[in-house]
Amino acid sequence: MSDVSAVAGDHLRSFIERIERLEEEKKTIADDIKDVYAEAKGNGFDTKVLRKIISIRKQDQNERQEQEAILDLYLQALGMGPDMPDE
Amino acid sequence: MSDVSAVAGDHLRSFIERIERLEEEKKTIADDIKDVYAEAKGNGFDTKVLRKIISIRKQDQNERQEQEAILDLYLQALGMGPDMPDE
Amino acid sequence: MSDVSAVAGDHLRSFIERIERLEEEKKTIADDIKDVYAEAKGNGFDTKVLRKIISIRKQDQNERQEQEAILDLYLQALGMGPDMPDE
Amino acid sequence: MSDVSAVAGDHLRSFIERIERLEEEKKTIADDIKDVYAEAKGNGFDTKVLRKIISIRKQDQNERQEQEAILDLYLQALGMGPDMPDE
DNA sequence: CACTGGAAAATGCCGC
DNA sequence: GCGGCATTTTCCAGTG
């Protein structure tokens, strides 16, 4: 293999390893989440309802963020951007 | 609210918070992964190929695990469970 | 109802009926599969092992297909797409 | 391989082939369903809505079947089974 | 910005 | 009847 290919290969390998490492961490956390759901279920909570609650709360967050974003747009349009109050 | 409800409510709240905390961590890692892909792309690697490589490597792992699983099943079927070799 | 709506409605109805018809056929086959598993079980075969074998054979197929897919990707990446060899 | 094993092996093989054959048919139909959805989409129908309609209709069917089943139970309890009116 | 492909979630099924 | 597992469906990001 030529040197440039070798270097590119190492580079590629490095990217792959970084991604696979992160994927593993992600999986660990996903498993943790499952465990918490299982624990909640063991304590008598209905998993389905629990998931619903969490999804609703997430939607609410998104909505709040969108509304803040819109507000920021308005403020910017009025020359009153949040980061530059006295420009 | 009666005391038992209050306690259950606190319990529920606790589960929700734990899950939401973990979901946040998961999202952080997912974003990290995206960043790595973007960086690789910036270094001239084809994202599609990269993803394919990683997916195949993951499949290889699964395959190996499946084969181990079926070996265990065979052993069990033969009355030779892995933990109790000479029962 | 206006004519266009009526036409659209008939069209929609037609799609729905086609899908539901196919879903029924699919269910019939799924039931057939169950029957075969049951028959195998009645003949002394361990269903779990049977399912595992079939799942591994399916994975092998997928694996082969994936490897072909990545080969195609490599060839494309090298400007050697299968359909346009000397472009 | 002993004769009994050989026979069992053939038997097993036969079950596997029957199941795999049926799985293929099932997949073919599943693909057909996808095609119909795609065609509907190409005709301006919203796939998501379409799926919702079909799922609701399926639920309705299930409910109707349950109600009929309950009715049958009542009739049986009254000695008025549907298939054997004058037993 | 619509579409495809892949990840995540929900549902249903089987065995205990 | 329930828990675990497989399948299915839904959702979302990436791509062209």
* pLDDT exceeds cutoff 90 at C25: yes
DSSP assignment of D12-68 equals HHHHHHHHHHHHHHHHHHHHHHHHHHHHHHHTT--HHHHHHHHHHHHHHHHHHHHHH
How does pLDDT run across D62-74, given as a tens digit for each residue? 888 888 888 998 9
More confident residue, C1 or C6: C6
pTM of the model: 0.85
Query: Do C19 and D8 contact (CB within 8 A), yes or no?
Result: no
Amino acid occupying residue D69: A
Give yes or no for CB of A2 within 7 Å of strand E: no
Q: Note the pLDDT of residue D37.
A: 97
Torsion of CA B56, B59, B61, B64, to 10 degrees: -130
Give yes or no for CB of D44 within 7 Å of strand F: no
Please indicate whether, in this complex, the C-beta atoms of B22 and A11 are within 8 angstroms of each other. Answer: no
Those of residues 60-79 in D touching chain C at CB distance below 8 A are none
In angstroms, the separation between the Cα of residue A21 and the nearest Cα of chain B is 9
Q: Note the pLDDT of residue B1.
A: 63
Give the nucleotide with minimal C1' distance to the Cα of D30: F8
Q: Note the pLDDT of residue D13.
A: 95
How does pLDDT run across A4-43, given as a tens digit for each residue? 788 888 999 999 999 999 999 999 999 999 999 999 999 9
Please indicate whether, in this complex, the C-beta atoms of C46 and B73 are within 8 angstroms of each other. Answer: yes
Give yes or no for CB of D30 within 7 Å of strand F: yes
* pLDDT exceeds cutoff 70 at C85: no
Q: Note the pLDDT of residue C78.
A: 80
Please indicate whether, in this complex, the C-beta atoms of C49 and B66 are within 8 angstroms of each other. Answer: no
* pLDDT exceeds cutoff 90 at A77: yes
Give yes or no for CB of D78 within 7 Å of strand F: no
